């Protein structure tokens, strides 16, 4: 067992639009992080579940984003998966990370090997 601490990362990937496809993609992103010995947090996979928050309601969307940003302060990095573009919500997350001086890393499965 590896006793080194996993890197804490915030996952940025699209949610709105083609939600089912974007959720599948977000899960792939989380898996990629785990394989890199990272402990990923993807608020859009957690807070948008039935019975939690409704992303279609502006107050719920803001609440979910702010809750995710609270985790950002503890993160080692924000990882941005770009295969499906960068949404407005992702742009806000990137800007928040930059404001807090959290490193932002861009990734694409199109250029990953393995």
pLDDT digit string, tens, across residues 38-92: 999 999 999 999 999 999 999 999 999 999 999 998 999 999 999 999 999 999 9
pLDDT at 114 over 60: no
Strands across the sheet containing 104-107:
38-41, 7-12, 77-81, 104-107
Q: What is the CATH number of domain 7-111?
A: 3.40.50.450
Neighbours of 57 (CB within 10 A): 11
Q: What is the dihedral of CA 72, 77, 78, 80, to 10 degrees?
A: -170
Q: Which secondary structure element, helix H or strand E, spans residue 38, and what is its range? A: strand 38-41
pTM (2 d.p.): 0.90
Q: In the chain, where are the structural domains located?
A: 7-111
For 46, the 3-state DSSP assignment is helix
What percent helix, strand, coil does the chain show, rounded to 5? 45, 15, 40
Angstrom distance (rounded) from CA 60 to CA 74: 23
- Under the banding of pLDDT at 50, 70 and 90, the label for residue 4 is confident
- Share the mean pLDDT of the chain: 93
């Amino acid at each position: 067992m590896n006793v080194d601490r996993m890197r804490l990362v915030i996952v940025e990937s699209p949610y709105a639009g083609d939600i089912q496809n974007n959720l599948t993609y977000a899960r792939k992103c989380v898996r990629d992080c785990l394989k890199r010995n990272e402990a990923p947090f993807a608020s859009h996979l957690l807070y948008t579940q039935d019975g939690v928050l409704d992303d279609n309601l502006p107050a719920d969307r803001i609440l979910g984003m702010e809750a995710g940003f609270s985790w950002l302060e503890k993160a080692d990095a924000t990882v941005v998966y770009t295969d499906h573009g960068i949404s407005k919500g992702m742009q806000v997350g990137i800007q928040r990370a930059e404001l807090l001086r959290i490193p932002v890393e861009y990734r694409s499965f199109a250029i990953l090997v393995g």
